[in-house]
Homo-oligomer: A and B are copies of this chain.
Amino acid sequence: MSLIVVGSMAFDAIETPFGKSDKIIGGAATYIAWSASNFTKPIKQLSVVGGDFPQSELDALKLRGVEMEGVQIKKDEKSFFWSGRYHMDMNTRDTLETQLNVLANFSPVVPESYQDCEFLMLGNLAPAVQLSVIDQLKSRPKLIVMDTMNFWMEIALDDLKKVLARIDVLMVNDSEARELSNEYSLVKAAKKIMAMGPQYLIIKKGEHGALLFNEDQVFFAPALPLEDVFDPTGAGDTFAGGFIGHIAKTKDISFENMKTAIIIGSAMASFCVEKFGTERLKEITKEEIDVRLQQFQDLVNFDIELG
Contact = CB atoms under 8 A, between A and B. Distances in A.
Given A225-B211, A290-B306, A306-B293, A219 B299 contact: yes
B211 A208 contact: no
Nearest to A291: B306
Given A184-B88, A205-B208, A208-B208, A302 B260 contact: yes
A304 B293 contact: yes
A17 to B, nearest CB: 9
A307 B226 CA distance: 23
Given A219-B299, A260-B302, A293-B306, 16 more contacts: A185-B228, A186-B225, A208-B208, A208-B209, A209-B209, A211-B225, A218-B299, A219-B302, A221-B302, A222-B222, A256-B303, A259-B301, A259-B303, A260-B304, A263-B302, A300-B300
14 contacts: A187-B226, A211-B225, A217-B298, A218-B225, A219-B298, A219-B300, A220-B300, A222-B222, A222-B300, A259-B301, A259-B303, A290-B306, A293-B304, A300-B300
A66 to B, nearest CB: 25
Interface string A282-307: 00000000100110111111111011
Interface of A: 88-89, 184-188, 205, 208-209, 211, 217-222, 225-229, 256, 259-260, 263-264, 290, 293-294, 296-304, 306-307
A88 B209 CA distance: 21
Instruction: Quickly give the copy total for this chain.
Output: 2
A265 B302 CA distance: 13
B263 A290 contact: no
A226 B185 contact: yes
Contacts of A302: 219, 221, 259-260, 263
Nearest to A185: B227
Contacts of A226: 185, 187
8 closest A-B pairs by beta carbon, nearest first, are: A208-B208, A259-B302, A300-B300, A220-B222, A187-B227, A290-B306, A220-B299, A187-B225
A294 B297 CA distance: 18
A298 to B, nearest CB: 8
A300 B225 CA distance: 16
Nearest to A228: B185
A128 B205 CA distance: 39
Which interface residue of A89, A186, A221, A227 has the most chain B CB atoms within 10 A?
A227
Contacts of A290: 306-307
B260 A303 contact: yes
Contacts of A298: 217, 219
Contacts of A225: 186-187, 211, 218, 220
Contacts of A217: 298
A264 B303 CA distance: 11
